[in-house]
Amino acid sequence: MWWRRLKSRRTDFSLRTPEPTGTARHVAMSRERLQRYFEALGEIVLSPNFHDQPCKIWNMDETGMTLAHKPSKVLTKKGAKSIHSKTSTSREMITVIACGNAAGEYLPPHFVFPGKTRRKLDGYDIESTMERSSSIKGANFSVSDSGWTKNGIAKLWFT
């Protein structure tokens, strides 16, 4: 009730879910640090090496993805007490590395699966997945003990 009244008076407000941020990262995000970072970045971008050359400005990021699906919303009667959706109990994660530049070019993605040897990749049926999906054409695959990017995997993929 109070939210609807506030929302009708203040249309510039919205109810949002905050992005979870770890304590160390949250502490590091001070206004002064961010200002210094963007000043230093501005100097680099405006330097003669990069000025008017967006193909030289690259960004790489990685994200962890669970192999268990997240159930979507379902339609149910109001007042229903428990709504269930069957999911896997697996907590196994894979890492996806993506990289693109300011000119709009990108590298094919790199997938890192948990495992000790490349034989572990056979269980994921990668070949047939690549045949069915043009969005991962040229993708690279590797394994690491934890499934995370480490031991130079990102550097090997990028070079």
**Taken in order 144, 146, 151, 154, is the CA torsion positive or negative?**
positive
Q: What is the pLDDT of residue 133?
A: 60
Determine contact, residues 91/129, Cβ cutoff 8 Å: no
Q: What is the pLDDT of residue 104?
A: 93
What is the three-class DSSP state of 103? coil
> Residue range 31-60: average pLDDT?
88
Q: What is the pLDDT of residue 154?
A: 72
Percentage of residues in the chain with pLDDT exceeding 70?
A: 77
pLDDT digits 0-9 by tens, 36-45: 999 998 888 8
Q: What is the pLDDT of residue 90?
A: 67
Buried b (16+ CB within 10 A) or exposed e, 15-49: eeeeeeeeeeeeeeeeeeeeeeeeeeeeeebeeee
Average pLDDT, the chain: 78
pLDDT digits 0-9 by tens, 59-113: 888 888 877 767 777 767 777 777 777 666 667 788 888 899 989 998 888 888 8
User: What's the predicted TM-score (pTM) here?
Assistant: 0.61
